[in-house]
Every structure is written in C-alpha cells, then in structure tokens.
Amino acid sequence: MTDAHTLHMEKGPIGSTLIRFALPVLLAQLLQEVYNLSDCMVIGHFGGDYGLAAVSLSGLILSVLINFFVGFSSGISVITAELFGSYDYPRLRKTLTAVFRLVLLTGAGISLLGAVSAPHILHLLRSPLSVYPHAVAYLRICSAGMAALLFYNIGTAVLRSLGDTKTPLLLSVISVTLNLVLDILFVIGFGMGASGAALATMLSQWVLAALIFLRLRGMDSAFSFRLLGETLPAGEVLAILKMGLPAGFQALFMSISSLLVQVNINGFGPDAIAGMNLYAKVEGLLYLPTFSYGIALTGFIGQNCGAGAFRRIRDAVRLSLKTVSAVIFPLSILLPLLSPLILRLFTADAGIIYNAREAILFNLPFYTIYAVNQVYLGAIKGLGNTTYPMVCTLLCYSLFRVLWCRLLIPVFPTMRVVYLSYDVSFFLMLALLVPKYNGLYARLEKKAA
C-alpha cells in the first residue's frame, strides 16, 4: 500500500529513477528563481531609489532563517526516507506527527522574534541610513510569514523524501504565479515599493502553507500525519532533533558567515550591496541544478540505506558527479560571457552593474567545484551523518571566509577580496568531503559483506 504520488527508489534503474526524482525538484527551483528574477526586476525599476538595496540586505537576513529551515528539513528527510524505504509506515506516521507538532509550536515564536529584532539586526549590520527604513519595513512584513514558510519547507522536504516531487512542483507554479501577480499589484499598481514586495511574499507563503497541509493530510492513511494522533517517545523525538539540527546549523552557519561578510560589503556602499544581490540572481542559474541534485541524492540514498541496497548508493553518487559537472561547467563559462546583457535586464545603474559583473567573473568559473561539493554533502547526509557537513560548513564557508575578509580587506580595500574568499573555500571544502564520503561508504561495504 502506498500513496499514488510517492516513489520507492530502492529499486529500478538508478539513472532514470534519479532523473525522475530530481527533474521536478529542479523545475520547482527554476520556477522559484524565475520569480526571484522577476521580483528583482520589478523592485529594480519600480521600487524607488533604495528599494533594491533594501530588499538585498533584508533578503540576506531572512536567508539565515530560511536556510536553517531548509537545512533542518533536509535532516528530517533523511529519517523519513529511511523509514519509507524500509516500509516502516507506522513509525513514519508517528515521526511525521511529532515533527509537525514541533513546527507549529516554534513557528509563531520565530515570526514574533523576527518582527521585534529587525531594527536591531540592521543596526548591527551597519545598514546605510538611506536603506535602513525600507529594510526594516520589509523585514517586519516578511517575518509574519516565517511560520508558514517553516511549515512549507518541512512539508515539501518530507514529500520529496517519500518520492513525491510532483506536489512541490505544482505548489511552485502556484507560488510563482501568485507572487508575481501580487508584486505587480502592490509595487507597481499601489506604489508600495519594498513593503509591497514583502507583503506579496508573506501572503503567498500562507497560501502555500495551507496547500501543503491539505496534501499532507491527504496522504495514504498508513503514514499520513495526525496532529492529535499517536506520537513518539521523548527519546525518539530527541533522535529526530539530533539528525535535523546539525543540518539546520550547517545552513545557519553559512548564512551567518554571509551576514558577517555583508558587514564588509556594506562598507563599499549601496552599489556593492545591490551588485552582490544581482550576482546572487545569476548564480542561482548554477546553484539550482546542484541544489536539486543534492536533494534528489539525499532522498535516494536515504531510501536505499533503509532497504540495504548499498551498491546503488555508490553508483548514484558517481552518476551525480558526472551529471552536475556536465551541466555546471559549460554554464560557468557561458554566463560570464553573457553577463553584460543579463544584468541590464535588472537595472541600468552603471555602478551596480560593475559590481555584479566583477562578482560573476571572479566566482562563476570555479562553480563546478561547488557543485561537486553539493553532491558529496547530499551523499553524506543521505548516509545519516548530518554532523560532519555542519562542521565542514562552519570551518570552510563560515570561519574561513570571515577571517579572510577581516584580515585582508584592511590591507587590500577592494571587493575582490570578498569574491576570492568564496573561490578558495570551495577547494577547502572539497578536500574535507571526499575522504569522509569514501570512509562512510567503505563502512557500508564492510557491513554488507
């Protein structure tokens, strides 16, 4: 007995199974990126003089919470994938009940904390005075949607771990359409600037949370969660947190390091802030395929671990490395060449374009290394180890980048120091991940023998 949209990945051809699972994830992420690009264009042209800088700075702060949600969700998905792969549906149902109770209890508190702390966080980040009031308004409105966003991220991660990538894709279509319509209405129609963009985002998040709740409640009765149903003992709830929190902190450390690096970027003025935001939009075209494959691989490996199909894990990792390299390397060469044309779609400001193009030229040619790292991170998490990726992220993407900028920017006061911190950290991360994955897989082979 199984849900019509779920997919068991411990059997069948590896390549087609991974593609079948990863493609809807990629399409969903691409749709979200389409919205992000459209939102950036609307703000850049109709959001006022400092609208784009306000959204850029506020978005970086919000990404701390959002990335923690995504990371925590990926840790939870390892558990649900293993239970689904082993057909332990009763325990899966109890696990989902415990997880979503926790989500509902913490979501409201996170929203309240974000609204209250917004001015203080912007002050600590040395927000330019011209940008500050717009960024505060944006942050406070978006904070009202944090509880919904947490529920949505956990829900979609669970569905993907069960092999259902079609529902998240459908919800992405709804999200992009609704967000864009509301953006045009509030920003262009009502002239609300950055606040209008925030309101559009917040309302869309609550609609998505309601839809994902209905989908989760409508899953096969063998494993669909019930808020008032039977739950897990306290010890097993702690085990869930032990798996989810390191994955959440992995993403959190990366976001915090970005905020600390942002302090240095803010010192270079609004053009540098907005330029890095535009760079992030272009980078998304490379990041999304790697992120999607990482999600697919984590779910695939989790299910196959539960089923004891260890050789499929090795073959899936090898295939993923070849796939992401074949996709990312050509794009990492093409996008820098096309960047002058792409950036003019967002703004005509020469200073912003200059900063964005500098970031693209320094970072994107090395992005294949980052893509390979994402495969290994997804594989290690899928094997049930979420602590090591957290430590690697803390060392390479957090501490190293912050120290690099703190030490070198006073000597070389240029944004190029920031760009190079990303490139060097990619190689440091790779040196830590490869031997760890090889060691974990060797243990699996020994266990199988």
Span 264-301, pLDDT tens digits = 777 777 788 888 878 887 887 888 778 777 877 887 88
pLDDT confidence of residue 366: 92
Residue 182 maps to a domain: yes
Task: Tell the residue number behind the tokens 């270079």, with chain if given.
Answer: 268
Q: Which pair of structure tokens corresponds to residue 272?
A: 């540098």
Which residues, 6+ apart, have CB-to-CB distance to 65 below 8 Å? Answer: 110, 114, 146, 149
Rg (CA), the chain: 21
Number of domains into which the chain is organized: 1
Is the predicted pLDDT of residue 434 greater than 90, yes or no?
yes
- Long-range contact list for 240-244, CB < 8 A, 24+ apart? 240/76, 240/79, 240/95, 240/98, 240/99, 243/75, 243/76, 243/78, 243/79, 243/384, 243/386, 244/72, 244/73, 244/75, 244/76, 244/79, 244/386
Span 374-410, pLDDT tens digits = 999 988 988 888 889 888 988 888 889 888 988 898 8
Task: Report the alpha-carbon distance of residue 193 to residue 183 in Å, rounded.
Answer: 9
Task: Report the alpha-carbon distance of residue 45 to residue 346 in Å, rounded.
Answer: 7
* CB neighbours of residue 119 within 10 Å: 16
Residue 319 maps to a domain: yes
Residue 214 maps to a domain: yes
Residue 230 maps to a domain: yes
SS3 call for 48: coil
Whether residue 171 contacts residue 208, with contact meaning beta carbons closer than 8 Å, is answered with yes
Task: Report the alpha-carbon distance of residue 390 to residue 45 in Å, rounded.
Answer: 39
Is the predicted pLDDT of residue 14 greater than 80, yes or no?
no
Is the predicted pLDDT of residue 432 greater than 90, yes or no?
yes
On the CB side of 134, CA atoms within 13 Å amount to 22
Whether residue 236 contacts residue 230, with contact meaning beta carbons closer than 8 Å, is answered with no
Mean pLDDT, the chain, rounded, equals 80
Is the predicted pLDDT of residue 361 greater than 80, yes or no?
yes
pLDDT confidence of residue 449: 65
pLDDT confidence of residue 1: 40
Residue 109: alpha-carbon gap to chain centroid: 22
Residue 260 maps to a domain: yes
**pLDDT bucket at 91, cuts 50 / 70 / 90:** confident
**pLDDT bucket at 330, cuts 50 / 70 / 90:** very high
SS3 call for 222: coil
pLDDT confidence of residue 409: 85
pTM: 0.69
CA distances from 11 to 89, 131, 239, 312 (A): 18, 54, 28, 9
Which residues, 6+ apart, have CB-to-CB distance to 257 below 8 Å? Answer: 397, 398, 399, 401, 402
Whether residue 96 contacts residue 80, with contact meaning beta carbons closer than 8 Å, is answered with yes
Residue 437 maps to a domain: yes
> Which range marks the domain in which residue 38 is found?
14-448
CA angle (76 as vertex; 170, 10 as ends), nearest 5: 75
pLDDT confidence of residue 368: 93
Residue 1 maps to a domain: no
Span 123-154, pLDDT tens digits = 776 677 777 777 888 888 888 888 888 888 88
Is the predicted pLDDT of residue 3 greater than 60, yes or no?
no
Span 212-230, pLDDT tens digits = 888 887 777 676 767 666 6
Q: What average pLDDT does the segment 9-21 reach? A: 70
Is the predicted pLDDT of residue 31 greater than 90, yes or no?
no
Q: Give the least confident one: 91-95, 116-120, 259-263, 425-429.
A: 259-263
Residue 198 maps to a domain: yes
Whether residue 135 contacts residue 126, with contact meaning beta carbons closer than 8 Å, is answered with no
Whether residue 281 contacts residue 346, with contact meaning beta carbons closer than 8 Å, is answered with yes
Q: Which pair of structure tokens corresponds to residue 220?
A: 């096969």
Percent of the chain with pLDDT over 70: 89
pLDDT confidence of residue 232: 66
Q: Which amino acid is at 103?
A: V
Task: Report the alpha-carbon distance of residue 50 to residue 9 in Å, rounded.
Answer: 48
